[in-house]
Structure 1
């Protein structure tokens, strides 16, 4: 005899099984084009990794049902079977419809169903025309089969609803119902980890994007994309489209003498790309910041190549990662990394170098599921990811994960193993992120945030120095270019204003054994952005950078339209443009200048408006 209090787990299981059925249908529907290329283990992993989003979606769908069952504990004569059945039937129809529609849309669009079709509701004629070629009969049959399978599964697992035992007090029944509701919190957020579940948690394949797509839960994906909200470009429109395109094209048109400086002794060296969390120029001595906080970086500026006027493209880690590794500008009201289907179309240094035989890896002491970074990195071609779960529990000694000396020690140990040459390895530090914990005596005592931040930056600089001193003794060092750059700046110390250029200025240094010794201490003074790192690096490796349309070579002559270079950056609802003439900041909502340096010319205002408009239009088109 069925127990009333086993009903909630069976109800949750019902949705898990239904989602597994939907995934099987998806794999079968795309068998010839995609699934046939997957081995059996990869197919199985689409179900295994997909469980986290399936569980989250099942928890959301179970929540109303569990509330109904808890209510039934208060009203013993109301069994609630009819209300529960009606709710489940309605939800099942919606899930079945989304699953079926997704089958054909994926074939046409190459990404799982999200809120995109809602954009066409105001043009029903175009929507009908687009849907005219769909195979309606097979899709209708699939939809009917899904409904029939769901009904059979419901009858098997859940009908009839058992009555509550007569001997069981009502208040206990209510408590049991509330306990089941509380337990849903774990699958709702995809586990007990620090960061709630997102698409990155189900991405697992570096070889087959389709396998990652198959692991996504469609109802969860639709609701999540609705939560992101519709991004409207109206606030970024300043100029006629043709004018904006022309002005931006001029900014990226190379000067007649466009032969860049050659920095390297080797044509195809290893590349070690180190991204420093929150390293603001305000604390970097060789950039005019406070002395004594970053002695390692200041020493590298004397022995390597330093870029004096580099600015972050945005103000968050996920924005900096995309700007650095894809050469793609930020958006003022959102971030492209939130949209895996958009980031899959971006160029990527890992993919570009992978085509030339480079082996790639990404090291991070925290959770790469944060802000969809994992899905972005896998789609970008990284062949190996090392993150928090790959470190021993005793080494996860920071709120965010493994501190930077642990991360760099792991990186050094792995690089000592025989490496297929050449390699492209990226390491992303985290200890200088809030709450500014450091596993050593703070260099700047005190509990105020400014000194805590200074101490965290000083710690990471120290850990980097130790790593580089040891790395110089390794066999791979002589043929390695090391790129050191920050993911973004920081309002601390001093709480810079949200639009202030000093908040966005960051270090960029080149060092390593592959660098020509005669270039020690060279300073590059042209103004540039994180987005320019890709097009600066690739020509040094003898590779074209044509795929990186929003990136320019900082070692080549400046474009005629921007003598001395330029750096565009975004903040919430606004943008800034830095040139040798000074800063210009703009409020996108009011379409009003926030600040314009006295020497700034009208041309710079036009360029900033054009860049904001055209870069955001490019984001919307993807």
Structure 2
């Protein structure tokens, strides 16, 4: 006999089953073009991995129903069955409609349904034209079949809705209903982990992007993208489009005497790409920062190649990673990494080097689901991802995950056992992120935030030094180029103002056994951005970089339009541009200058405006 208080779990299960049927419809609909290429295990994993987003979507849909049942608990003789049935019918129809529309739009567009179609609501002619070749009768049949399936499942699983037991007091009935509502918090967030569930959590395949797409829950994807979907027009229209395009093109036009500079003594070295969390130039001695915090980096500057004027493209980790690995500029009020269908079209160093036979891996001691990084990295072609769950729990001695010395030790162990040749290994540190917890005796006394930050940077620098000393004893070292760069700067120490370039000034160093001896101690003073690292690296490997349209080789002569180079960066609804002539920053809302060095010419202002306008236009087009 069914019990009234078994109803909530069955209702949650109802939506999970309905989403599973929708995924099955998606896989069957795309069988000839995509699904037939997948093995049975991969198909099964689309359901296994997809259940986290399914559970989150189901929990959201259960909330109104569970609230209704809580109210019904006050009235023992009222089932609330009609109201619940009506709610389920309306929402179920919407889910079936979204599932059906997604089937054909994915075939045409190559990404799962999100808020993009909303931009066509004011142009029904374009919408009708887009659907002109769709098999309407087939889609209507699928829609009706999903409705029938939902109705039958509801009748089988949830009808009738039992009355509460006569001996069960009203307050106890309401309390049980509220308990069920509280339990929804876990599936709403996708689990008990620190970061709420997102698309990255269901991406699992490095070989089949379609399999990752199949694991996405469409209703969840649509609702999640609604706030992001408002970005349909370029709010940064400073100049006529033709003038903006021309100004940006001149910034990337190579100089006539662009003779290549070669720093490597081997044609295809391994590449060890280390991204250092929050390493601001303010704490790096060889960049005129504080002395004694980063002795490892300062020593490497004397034996390797240092770039004295590199600036972060943005102020968050996810923005820095895209800028570094894809050579793509940031956006002021959002980040392209939030849009998996956009990032899938970006170039990426893992993919570029993969075409040359490089084996790629990304190591991070934290959770790669953070800020959708996992979906970005899998779409980029990384063949192996190592993250928090791959480390022993005893080594996860930080709020964010495994500390940096644990991360580096894992890399050493893996490369010592069977290093692939050549390899492109990216490591992203985390210990210098807030709350600055490090397993090392403080080098700088005091519990104030600035000294805690200094200690965290000093710890990571120390762990890096130990790692590099051990790496020099490995057989792969002599054929390895090490790239060391920060993901972004920091307001500390000194509480740098948000628009100030000192907040974005970061280190970039080249080291490793693959460098020519005569490169030792070289200082590159060209002004550049994180976006320029990709083209600079590919030029050293003598590989094409044409697809990295927003990246330029920092070791080549600078363009005539920007003698000495330039660095563009974004902050919250504003931008800055730095050149040897000076700095300026602009507020995008008021369109007023925040700061401008007296010697900075109007040309630099126009270049910054053009760059902001064109880079965001490119973002919208993707």
Distance in 2 (alpha carbons) for counterparts of 1:285 and 1:256: 35
The residue number in structure 2 matching 1:49 is 49
Structure-to-structure mapping, 1:396-435, within 5 angstroms? 396-435=396-435
| CA shift for structure 1 position 451 | 0.6
| CA shift for structure 1 position 227 | 3.2
Distance in 2 (alpha carbons) for counterparts of 1:228 and 1:120: 16
Structure-to-structure mapping, 1:233-382, within 5 angstroms? 233-382=233-382
| CA shift for structure 1 position 233 | 4.2
Structure-to-structure mapping, 1:12-91, within 5 angstroms? 12-91=12-91
Structure-to-structure mapping, 1:505-544, within 5 angstroms? 505-544=505-544
Task: Classify 1:253/1:274 alpha carbon distance in 2 versus 1 (closer, same or farther; 3 Å).
Answer: same
Distance in 1 (alpha carbons) for counterparts of 2:61 and 2:437: 39
The residue number in structure 2 matching 1:444 is 444
Deviations 1:204-254 (A, max 9, x none): 000000000000000000000013351254431100101111110111010
The residue number in structure 2 matching 1:204 is 204
The residue number in structure 1 matching 2:488 is 488
| CA shift for structure 1 position 602 | 1.2
In the alignment, structure 1 segments of 5+ residues that lack a partner are none
Does the 8 Å CA contact 1:268/1:542 hold for their aligned counterparts? no
Does the 8 Å CA contact 1:235/1:589 hold for their aligned counterparts? no
Deviations 1:19-55 (A, max 9, x none): 0000000000000000001000000000000000000
In the alignment, structure 2 segments of 5+ residues that lack a partner are none
Deviations 1:75-127 (A, max 9, x none): 11221000000000001000000000000000000000000000111112221
DSSP 3-state at the match of 2:453? helix
Deviations 1:376-400 (A, max 9, x none): 0000000000000000000000000
The residue number in structure 1 matching 2:180 is 180
Task: Classify 1:202/1:316 alpha carbon distance in 2 versus 1 (closer, same or farther; 3 Å).
Answer: same
| CA shift for structure 1 position 549 | 0.3
Distance in 2 (alpha carbons) for counterparts of 1:230 and 1:444: 46
The residue number in structure 2 matching 1:591 is 591
The residue number in structure 1 matching 2:148 is 148
Distance in 2 (alpha carbons) for counterparts of 1:229 and 1:502: 33
Does the 8 Å CA contact 2:234/2:613 hold for their aligned counterparts? no
Distance in 1 (alpha carbons) for counterparts of 2:417 and 2:260: 35
Does the 8 Å CA contact 2:234/2:620 hold for their aligned counterparts? no
Does the 8 Å CA contact 2:294/2:461 hold for their aligned counterparts? yes
DSSP 3-state at the match of 1:416? helix
Distance in 2 (alpha carbons) for counterparts of 1:592 and 1:120: 33
DSSP 3-state at the match of 2:508? strand
DSSP 3-state at the match of 1:235? coil
Deviates most, 559-568 or 443-452: 443-452
DSSP 3-state at the match of 2:2? coil
What RMSD in Å do the two structures reach over aligned CA positions?
0.7
Distance in 1 (alpha carbons) for counterparts of 2:382 and 2:484: 19
The residue number in structure 2 matching 1:121 is 121
Distance in 2 (alpha carbons) for counterparts of 1:420 and 1:442: 38
Runs of 4 or more off by more than 4 Å in structure 1?
A: none
Does the 8 Å CA contact 2:119/2:232 hold for their aligned counterparts? no
Distance in 2 (alpha carbons) for counterparts of 1:323 and 1:255: 23
TM-score of the pair, normalised by structure 1: 0.99
Structure-to-structure mapping, 1:566-585, within 5 angstroms? 566-585=566-585
Does the 8 Å CA contact 2:234/2:616 hold for their aligned counterparts? no
The residue number in structure 1 matching 2:614 is 614
Distance in 2 (alpha carbons) for counterparts of 1:561 and 1:191: 52
Does the 8 Å CA contact 1:301/1:509 hold for their aligned counterparts? yes
Distance in 1 (alpha carbons) for counterparts of 2:229 and 2:503: 28
Distance in 2 (alpha carbons) for counterparts of 1:410 and 1:333: 36
